[in-house]
Amino acid sequence: MNSATGFSAFSFFLPLGIGIVYLLLIGIGFYVLYLLIKLLKRAIAALDIYLDEKRNHRL
């Protein structure tokens, strides 16, 4: 087939490749969100421990 027909392997695989890249980026985004939530939970727990220690020493 020639380029005059309007169909080529490039025009078929390019959207497929872009779709795969988008899916990978979405997956990485969800994983980063999961890690961020995990980090924030630890930070809140550490802050609670810190504040509890500060309150107990004042009493």
What string of DSSP letters covers the chain?
A: --GGGS--HHHHHHHHHHHHHHHHHHHHHHHHHHHHHHHHHHHHHHHHHHHHHHHHHH-
Number of domains in the chain: 1
Q: How far apart are CA 8 and CA 2, in angstroms?
A: 8
Q: What is the pLDDT of residue 12?
A: 75
Domain that holds residue 40: 14-58
> At residue 46, what is the residue type?
A
User: Is 42 part of any domain?
Assistant: yes
User: Is 3 part of any domain?
Assistant: no
Q: What is the pLDDT of residue 58?
A: 58
Q: What is the pLDDT of residue 5?
A: 57
User: Is 37 part of any domain?
Assistant: yes
**Per-residue pLDDT for the chain (59 aa), expressed as one digit of tens each?**
555 555 677 777 888 889 999 999 999 999 999 999 999 999 999 999 999 999 987 54
User: Is 32 part of any domain?
Assistant: yes
pTM recorded for the entire structure: 0.69
Task: Provide CB contacts within 8 A for 1, sequence distance 6+.
Answer: 7, 8
